[in-house]
């Protein structure tokens, strides 16, 4: 075994994964993409400014680039890959497609995770609450207008389903 | 080469005693950036994120003070009891990064990194906070003014953990303001905390990101107290307000760097301090 390696377990998307031969300083983002073959979470700034690496950890939206993977043992981690139940899209994902919230698409997984996290805590957010919730996610294509429309659509679709 | 994730403060203190040079990590929002950019390559790490004792809030109404665990995320200071009793701290907490950053970042992390741009640090300075440190066999409390010794340098000794900070509940107005390149997700270019103690008739002004560490404007504070009665809300004349801002700017020691220029920072703290003083006397 490489002396500069760690073996530890991570709970990702409901499954326990053993991480081997990992360097101590590896970020959760790196481990998800390069070791667990979960490339849906995107990496861009690697300094917590862009939000494209957003995942849910123990019920909180976090930047996976700022989590030291080896310290995330015993945490429940949810990535974009686990939001839908298989082949179908969630209401948020579907609304991003139909409302034109996706252009280059690079920010989309992080935004979808941040919005799913918001709606899980607040199913009918105000405009300012939506803006606050995605203030840590940068999109350089859409100008955000179509993203806000997608959130509104997802909220109304979910409301119709539950009423 | 090891990563330890202790679950109790006692285990964490034993781990630091056994390896005093190990890298401590709380929320990771500063340290991981340095690691991601290869500026730092830790070998031994002690992660404090699982230590619940570092996330406590203790309100002592008799002593009129609040002790906040070093690992309490900023998210939990935005509303509730802390926001009601320490509004300047809540305002500073709301300006930290984004929701993602506020669910990880903490006062202990700000103190550990000790960057002059740390958002909570001007609040700690203006309130004369105490930093509580613990090691396996001792504990001590240090004034925040003695704790912050320079750019990213503090008085923490090897083997010590920053466990909490104690802040007084002051009767009077307090506020925090910062300037950055945009509203969300920004590291401050200049920041200011202003606290008026209406009982004692004093004012405290602390500046962030305009010197090697947080700057307390003590000369301006005593000058203003000699000019107006701070025990009550008073109308500050435009001339006095102007001079207040100029004196504050003169006490700052900003530099040119990748985030801004010294001249802009000097101007910014002048405006921020005037704005806060105006709010203190109108709200």
A/B interface, count of CB pairs below 8 Å: 102
* Contacts B40 to A, Cβ<8 Å: 25
Over the Cα atoms of chain B, what is R_g?
19
Least confident of A43-52, A81-90, B16-25, B168-177: A81-90
Residue A93 C-alpha, separation from nearest chain B C-alpha, in angstroms: 20
- Across the range B252-276, mean pLDDT stands at 95
**Cβ atoms of residues B49 and B132 within 8 Å:** no
Query: What is the predicted pLDDT for the residue at A3?
Result: 44
pLDDT tens digits, one per residue of B268-278: 999 999 999 99
Domain with CATH 1.10.150.120 in chain A: 91-162
* Contacts A136 to B, Cβ<8 Å: 97-101, 184-185
**Contact call for A25 and B41, based on CB within 8 A:** yes
**pTM, rounded to two decimals:** 0.94
Residue A43, CA distances (Å) to A66, B28, B54, B173 in order: 11, 17, 30, 43
More confident residue, B186 or A146: A146
For residues B24 and A11, give the distance between their C-alpha atoms in angstroms, rounded to a whole number. Answer: 23
C-alpha dihedral, B110 to B39 to B150 to B96, nearest 10°: -30
A18 alpha-carbon distance from chain centroid? 21
**Most distant CA atoms of chain B, gap in Å:** 62
Query: What is the predicted pLDDT for the residue at A2?
Result: 42
pLDDT tens digits, one per residue of B99-109: 999 999 999 99
pLDDT tens digits, one per residue of B203-238: 999 999 999 999 999 999 999 999 999 999 988 999
For residues B109 and B72, give the distance between their C-alpha atoms in angstroms, rounded to a whole number. Answer: 10
- DSSP code at position B71: T
For residues B145 and B128, give the distance between their C-alpha atoms in angstroms, rounded to a whole number. Answer: 7
**B262-280 helix and B238-251 helix, angle to the nearest 10 degrees:** 140
Q: Phi first, then psi: give them for residue A120, nearest 5 degrees.
A: -70, -25
User: The domain A91-162: what is its CATH number?
Assistant: 1.10.150.120
Domain with CATH 3.10.20.30 in chain A: 6-80
> Any chain B CB within 8 A of the CB of A56?
no
- Across the range B68-83, mean pLDDT stands at 96
- Copy the structure tokens of residue B206: 């602390």
Superfamily of domain A6-80: Beta-grasp domain (3.10.20.30)
- Across the range B135-148, mean pLDDT stands at 98
Question: In which band, very low, low, confident or very high, does the pLDDT at B185 lie, cut at 50, 70 and 90?
Answer: confident
Question: In which band, very low, low, confident or very high, does the pLDDT at B91 lie, cut at 50, 70 and 90?
Answer: very high
- Is it true that domain B174-280 has CATH number 3.30.390.50? yes
Identity of the residue in A47, A61, A68 whose CB atom sits nearest the CB atom of B99: A61
**Contact call for A137 and B36, based on CB within 8 A:** no
- Among A127, A129, A123, smallest CA distance to A163 is for A123
* Contacts B74 to A, Cβ<8 Å: none
**Contact call for A136 and B33, based on CB within 8 A:** no
For residues B97 and B187, give the distance between their C-alpha atoms in angstroms, rounded to a whole number. Answer: 7
**Cβ atoms of residues B154 and B112 within 8 Å:** yes
**Contact call for A48 and B47, based on CB within 8 A:** no
Identity of the residue in A60, A65, A73 whose CB atom sits nearest the CB atom of B5: A73
Reported ipTM: the value is 0.93
For residues B120 and B92, give the distance between their C-alpha atoms in angstroms, rounded to a whole number. Answer: 6
- Copy the structure tokens of residue B48: 């404090």
The percentage of chain B sitting over the pLDDT mark of 70, rounded to a whole number, equals 100
Identity of the residue in B36, B104, B184 whose CB atom sits nearest the CB atom of A47: B36
Over the Cα atoms of chain A, what is R_g?
16
**Cβ atoms of residues B234 and B228 within 8 Å:** yes
Choose the mutation target among A7, A28, A52, A66 for the interface with B, i.e. most B CBs under 10 Å: A66
């Amino acid at each position: 075994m490489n002396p500069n390696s760690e073996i530890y377990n991570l709970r990702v998307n409901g499954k326990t994964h053993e991480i081997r031969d990992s360097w101590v300083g590896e970020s959760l983002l790196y481990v998800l993409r390069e070791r667990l073959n979960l490339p849906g979470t995107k990496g861009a700034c690697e300094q917590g400014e862009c939000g494209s690496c957003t995942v849910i950890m123990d019920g909180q939206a976090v930047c996976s680039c700022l989590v030291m993977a080896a310290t995330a043992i015993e945490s429940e981690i949810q990535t974009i890959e686990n939001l839908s139940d298989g082949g179908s899209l969630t209401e948020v994902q579907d609304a991003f497609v139909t409302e034109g919230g996706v252009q280059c698409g690079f920010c989309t997984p992080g935004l979808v995770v941040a919005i799913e996290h918001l709606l899980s805590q607040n199913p009918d957010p105000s405009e300012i609450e939506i803006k606050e919730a995605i203030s840590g996610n940068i999109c350089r294509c859409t100008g955000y207008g179509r993203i806000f429309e997608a959130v509104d659509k997802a909220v109304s679709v979910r409301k119709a389903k539950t009423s | 080469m090891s990563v330890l994730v202790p679950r109790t403060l006692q285990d964490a203190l034993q781990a630091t005693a056994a390896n005093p040079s190990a890298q401590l990590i709380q929320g990771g929002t500063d340290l991981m950036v340095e690691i991601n950019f290869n500026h730092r390559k830790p070998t031994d790490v002690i992660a404090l994120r699982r230590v619940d004792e570092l996330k406590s809030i203790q309100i002592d109404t008799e002593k009129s003070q609040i002790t906040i665990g070093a690992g309490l995320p900023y998210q939990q200071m935005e509303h509730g009891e802390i926001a009601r009793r320490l509004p300047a701290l809540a305002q500073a907490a709301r300006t930290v990064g984004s929701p993602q950053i506020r669910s990880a970042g903490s006062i202990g992390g700000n103190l550990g990194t000790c960057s002059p741009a740390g958002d909570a640090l001007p609040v700690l300075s203006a309130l004369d906070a105490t930093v509580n440190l613990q090691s396996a066999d001792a504990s001590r409390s240090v004034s925040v003014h003695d704790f912050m010794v320079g750019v990213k340098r503090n008085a923490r000794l090897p083997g010590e953990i920053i466990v909490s900070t104690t802040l007084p509940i002051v009767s009077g107005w307090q506020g925090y303001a910062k300037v950055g390149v945009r509203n969300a997700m920004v590291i401050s270019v200049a920041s200011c905390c202003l606290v008026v103690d209406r009982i004692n008739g004093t004012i405290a002004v602390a500046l962030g990101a305009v010197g090697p560490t947080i700057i307390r404007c003590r000369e301006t504070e005593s000058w203003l107290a000699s000019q107006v009665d701070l025990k009550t809300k008073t109308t500050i004349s435009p001339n006095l307000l102007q001079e207040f801002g100029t004196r504050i700017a003169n006490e700052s020691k900003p530099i040119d760097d990748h985030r801004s220029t010294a001249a802009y920072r000097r101007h910014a703290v002048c405006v921020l301090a005037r704005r806060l003083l105006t709010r203190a006397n109108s709200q």
